[in-house]
Amino acid sequence: MIRSLRLRVALFAAVCTLFIGGYWLLFPPMKQPQDYHKFVDDRSMLGVPNALNVLSNFPFVLVGALGLAFMWSDRSRRPGIFLESHERWPYWIYFVGLVLTGFGSSYYHANPNNHTLVWDRIGLAITLMALFAGILADRLHPACARWLLAPLVLLGVGSILYWDWTERHGVGDLRLWFTVQFFPMIALPILLFLYPARYTRGGDLLASLLCYGIAKGLEMLDGQVYASAGFVSGHTLKHLLAGFSAGFILLMLWHRQPRGEAFRPVETVPLLYEPEA
């Protein structure tokens, strides 16, 4: 575990520069492939088109609603769940984003195309960036919840609006959205294994990350899963497992406690260089 705050900040900045800068230098703009909208399970049920892909978004709405109820409850104000009041903000936004993801994804899957995909991805971008800010506040510095939450969420939403704008102008550039979606999946294992936690229940966070990774794998195996199972597609299972992944975040918040060293005064964010006299 890296205890020095200066070293933690410097290392994380280096990781961001290496992966994000390298990706943008090596890969050209890429349009949204139109076959992305062709899901293998297009069965209608009770008048609902693409029914299982639509209805399987319910776990997002359920976990989001339960999470908002938890954040409103007295239990979320129990000493130790949030050591500083602004650490609550990312999780409020995270659970709101889950609800938006559930409704946005259902709207998209009822009529899959680039225009409806915008609403699917906006909710997901809010969810990913809010959770990322909450984890940065835990592992890097609590001030991340105050100073990075809004910029990260705006970056997430902006990545979708930028992609949509480029598609409307006949170019198409998914790189910013891919950065928002996949860079946290690269950074989180580094944060979990190298950076000290201020709270317990890190195993729930790791379980959530693993479930989400498996869900993305099922998304890529949509047709193969449907051909093997015969009644459910990989994309439907992706929704269910991603919702289950979000449940681990709620479980983490419900049970977590501060670690002993978290009660020490928080070190001020340092300068990465010493100014000249």
Distance of alpha carbon 180 from alpha carbon 192, whole angstroms? 19
- Tokens 């835990």 belong to 138
Residue pair 121/162 in contact by the 8 Å Cβ criterion:
no
Distance of alpha carbon 122 from alpha carbon 120, whole angstroms? 6
Please, which residues have CB within 8 angstroms of residue 131's CB and are 6 or more apart in sequence? 90, 94, 184, 249
The DSSP output letter for 57 is T
CA–CA distances in Å: residue 62 to residues 67, 97, 225:
8, 12, 25
The DSSP output letter for 40 is S
Rounded to a whole number, what is the distance in angstroms from the first to the last CA of the chain?
A: 33
Closest among 107, 119, 89, 58 to 242, alpha carbons compared: 58
**pLDDT tens digits for the chain (277 residues)?**
666 778 888 888 898 999 999 999 999 999 999 999 999 999 999 899 999 999 999 999 999 999 999 999 999 999 899 999 999 999 999 999 999 999 999 999 999 999 999 999 999 999 999 999 999 999 999 999 999 999 999 999 999 999 999 999 999 999 999 999 999 988 988 898 888 899 999 999 999 999 999 999 999 999 999 999 989 999 999 999 999 999 999 999 999 999 876 545 445 544 444 444 4
- Tokens 């498996």 belong to 214
Q: Which residue pairs from 107-113 have beta carbons closer than 8 angstroms and sit at least 24 positions apart in sequence?
A: 109/39, 109/50, 109/53, 109/54, 109/57, 110/48, 110/49, 110/50, 110/54, 111/49, 112/37, 112/38, 112/39, 112/50, 113/37
Q: How many residues does the chain have?
A: 277
Dihedrals phi, psi of 265, to nearest 5 degrees: -60, 140
